[in-house]
């Protein structure tokens, strides 16, 4: 039995998690998959009502009592400092030591990419974003706050341990999946201390994977190149901040944030948190316009994590069918609502499961 914690969160989070849950409930009809779901009320409403974002006991339960977490999104205009979202989301990533933030970005239908692919090759990018260090640790501080002499320092923390394990995870993924190349993305020309550590570690780890080709690129050149020749790039390993920025660009190149799923994992402990790459989208929350596909694709990543690649393939395949059929919310140029897309996908997953047929998502 797999126990799954649901954190719908803020804005469109609950709307898209409801559709992912609909799909999970269908997947749980599989005789060998027992899922137990529990919803936690973490988010802006509770924070504003009680002043508590997440308690020690909730951290403990989320770490120890569940096999995985599915999170919608956190962030609310009523909390302009974003404190609760940092406490909960970064808190879970850091305290559960979920050091791999894996963000696959694949063009699932050529119509969806804003780029023209004259040679027919489309982007199939796998971002390995370091998830426990960088400028996200909170190291730093403010001096003389609020005065005209204010000093604000945000330290960029890079440890050998932290860098080595994410680089190794990227190479391991490339090795296992027969991927051709791993690219290190950094800014070593302007940030030489961290840059040297990342580059030395990258080349050392690379030497133990002689069959995988390597490349290093500065992040400014990388964003240009992702637009210029998206299909060239394969596996990317990078720091927390650069990975955050690159993943929104990469998502846009596949058809938008509404299609981008991610996994925060610790491969050694098996702990995992799945979430769409997008945020709470306050501009469309409550309107039925949110695309639930990113959240639904999180269920595919979860199935892989639970050792059910067959069910992951099923979800991916049905999403491909939906996109092929032109079904979509307004961000994809469609007219369907969040729940219409969710119901269509859940219905097809159910049909495929009862027919015992698994569509191919390629
Ligand atoms: P966002 O991702 O919420 O929205 C950016 C744009 O993409 C908006 O125009 C939005 O309408 C659109 N969009 C996002 N998801 C969509 C979906 N599923 N379907 C259709 N359109 C979608 O980013 P933002 O506006 O910068 O941030 C809003 C809030 O979300 C902030 O508080 C931010 O900190 C937070 N945030 C949270 C997470 C997370 O919880 N993992 C991730 C990113 C941002
Ligand atoms: C993401 C988000 C978060 C991040 C924010 C909400 C702190 O943008 O998951 O991509 O920067 O990691
Ligand atoms: Mn982001």
CB 278 within 8 A of CB 72: no
The answer to pTM > 0.85 is yes
Q: Which domain holds residue 170?
A: 114-253
Chain-centroid distance, C-alpha 164: 21
- pLDDT class of 361 with cuts at 50, 70, 90: low
Statement to judge: residues 55 and 164 lie in one domain: no
**For residue range 105-116, what is the model confidence (pLDDT) as tens digits?**
999 998 999 987
Instruction: Give yes or no for residue 256 having a pLDDT over 60.
Output: yes
Q: Are residues 248 and 310 in the same domain?
A: no
Q: Show Cβ contacts of residue 359 under 8 Å, excluding neighbours closer than 6 positions.
A: 313, 314, 317, 318, 320, 321, 352
Residue 326 CA to residue 340 CA, distance in Å, equals: 13
The average pLDDT across 53-61 equals 98
- Give the domain-ending residue among 253, 287, 311: 253
Q: Are residues 85 and 135 in the same domain?
A: no
Examine the pLDDT at 218 and tell me if it is beyond 80. yes
Look at the chain and report how many structural domains it folds into: 2
Task: Compute the average pLDDT of residues 59-71.
Answer: 98
Predicted pLDDT of residue 362: 54
Tokens 């790039």, residue?
Answer: 233
CB of 279 closer than 6 A to ligand 1? Answer: yes
Residue 102 — pLDDT band, cuts 50, 70, 90?
Answer: very high
Q: Virtual CA dihedral for 238, 241, 247, 250, nearest 10 degrees?
A: -80
Measured CA to CA, the distance from residue 104 to residue 316 in angstroms comes to 12
For residues 356 and 358, give the distance between their C-alpha atoms in angstroms, rounded to a whole number: 7
Does the annotation mark 187 as catalytic? Answer: yes
Domain boundary among 253, 279, 307: 253
What are 124's two structure tokens?
């199939």
Residue nearest to atom 34 of ligand 1 (CA): 75
Catalytic residue selected from 41, 65, 180, 220:
220
Tell whether 249 and 260 lie within a shared domain.
no
**310 catalytic, yes or no?**
no
Other beta carbons within 10 Å of 287: 13
How far apart CA 270 and CA 223 sit, in angstroms, is: 32
- Residue 336 pLDDT > 80, yes or no? yes
Residues 120 and 249 in one domain: yes
* Residue 189 token pair: 């020309």
**What does each C-alpha distance from 37 to 6, 56, 164 come to in angstroms?**
7, 21, 35
Check pLDDT > 70 for residue 359.
no
What is the domain-level CATH number for residue 317?
A: 3.40.718.10
Closest-CA residue, ligand 2 atom 11, reads 244
User: Annotated catalytic, 220?
Assistant: yes
Cβ of 93 less than 6 Å from ligand 1? no
53 pLDDT higher than 70: yes
Q: Return the pLDDT at 357.
A: 55
Residues 165 and 135 in one domain: yes
Ligand number with the minimum distance to the CA of 103: 2
- What is the mean pLDDT of the segment spanning 148-176? 98
Give every strand in the sheet of 181-186, ordered side by side: 35-39, 2-9, 68-73, 272-276, 261-265, 100-106, 124-130, 235-238, 181-186, 213-218
Burial of 211 (C-beta count, 10 Å sphere; 0-12/13-18/19+): exposed
For the stretch 306-321, pLDDT in tens is: 999 999 999 999 999 9
Q: Are residue 170 and residue 185 in the same domain, yes or no?
A: yes
Q: What pLDDT is recorded for position 186?
A: 98
Ligand 1 pocket test, pick from 9, 19, 280 with the greatest ligand atom count within 8 Å of Cβ, gives 280
Could you say which of 10, 76, 156, 244 is catalytic? 244
183's enclosing H/E stretch is strand 181-186
What integer pLDDT is reported at residue 167 of this predicted model? 99
- Candidate from 74, 90, 245, 250 with most ligand 2 atoms within 8 A of CB, to mutate: 90
Ligand 1 pocket residue status of 337, Cβ below 6 Å: no
Q: Where are the alpha helices (DSSP H) in the chain?
A: 13-27, 44-50, 56-64, 83-85, 91-95, 160-177, 192-206, 219-228, 240-254, 293-305, 309-324, 338-355
Q: Which of helix, strand or coil describes residue 63? A: helix
Same domain, 277 and 334: yes
Q: Note the pLDDT tens digit of each residue in 3-51.
A: 999 999 999 999 999 999 999 999 999 999 999 999 999 999 999 999 9
- Give yes or no: residues 261 and 219 share one domain: no
Question: Which residues, in sequence order, are bridge partners of residue 105?
Answer: 125
- State the Cα–Cα distance between residues 248 and 341, nearest whole angstrom: 22
3-state secondary structure of 86: helix
Q: Are residues 286 and 224 in the same domain?
A: no
| Residue 20 shares a structural domain with residue 143 | no
CA distances from 190 to 45, 164, 194, 203, 323 (A): 41, 21, 10, 19, 42
- Identify whether the C-beta of residue 256 lies closer than 8 Å to the C-beta of residue 109: no
One domain, residues 229 and 272: no
Domain boundary among 191, 220, 253: 253
Task: For residue 284, report the distance from its CA to the centre of ligand 1, in Å.
Answer: 9
Catalytic pick from 102, 156, 187, 234? 187
Which residues, chain by chain, have CB under 5 Å from ion ligand 3? 244
Query: For 188, left (φ over 0), alpha (ψ -120 to 50), or beta?
Result: alpha
Ligand 2 within 6 A of 85 CB?
Answer: yes
How far apart CA 92 and CA 10 sit, in angstroms, is: 16
Q: What average pLDDT does the chain have? A: 96
The mean pLDDT value for 321-337 works out to: 97
């Amino acid at each position: 039995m797999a126990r799954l914690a649901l954190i719908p969160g803020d804005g469109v989070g609950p709307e898209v998690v409801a559709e992912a849950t609909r799909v999970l409930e269908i997947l749980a009809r599989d005789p060998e998959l027992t899922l137990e779901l529990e919803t936690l009320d973490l988010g802006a409403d509770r924070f504003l009502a009680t002043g508590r974002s997440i308690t020690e006991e909730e951290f403990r339960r989320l770490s120890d009592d569940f096999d995985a977490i599915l999170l919608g999104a956190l962030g609310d205009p009523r909390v302009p400092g974003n404190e609760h979202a940092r406490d909960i989301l970064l808190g879970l990533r850091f305290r559960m030591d979920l050091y791999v933030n894996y963000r696959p970005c694949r063009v699932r239908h050529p119509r969806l990419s804003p780029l023209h692919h004259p040679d027919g090759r489309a982007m199939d990018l796998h971002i390995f974003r370091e998830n426990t260090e960088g400028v996200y640790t909170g190291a730093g501080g403010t001096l003389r706050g609020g005065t005209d002499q204010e000093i604000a320092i945000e330290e960029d923390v890079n440890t050998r341990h932290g860098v080595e394990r994410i680089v190794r995870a990227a190479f391991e993924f490339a090795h296992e999946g027969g991927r051709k190349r791993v690219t290190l993305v950094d800014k070593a020309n302007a940030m030489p201390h961290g840059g040297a550590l990342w580059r030395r570690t990258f080349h050392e780890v690379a030497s133990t994977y002689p069959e995988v080709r390597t490349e290093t690129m500065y992040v400014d050149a990388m964003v240009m190149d992702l637009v210029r020749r998206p299909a060239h790039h394969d596996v990317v390993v990078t720091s927390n901040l650069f990975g955050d920025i690159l993943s929104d660009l990469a998502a846009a190149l596949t058809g938008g944030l509404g299609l981008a799923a991610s996994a925060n994992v610790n491969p050694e402990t098996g702990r995992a948190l799945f979430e769409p790459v997008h945020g709470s989208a306050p501009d469309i929350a409550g309107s039925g316009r949110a695309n639930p596909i990113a959240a639904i694709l999180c269920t595919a990543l979860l199935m892989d994590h639970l050792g059910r690649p067959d069910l992951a393939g099923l979800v991916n395949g049905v999403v491909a069918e939906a996109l092929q059929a032109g079904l979509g919310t307004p961000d994809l140029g469609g007219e369907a609502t969040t729940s219409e897309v969710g119901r269509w996908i859940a219905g097809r997953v159910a049909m495929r499961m009862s027919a015992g047929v698994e569509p191919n998502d390629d």
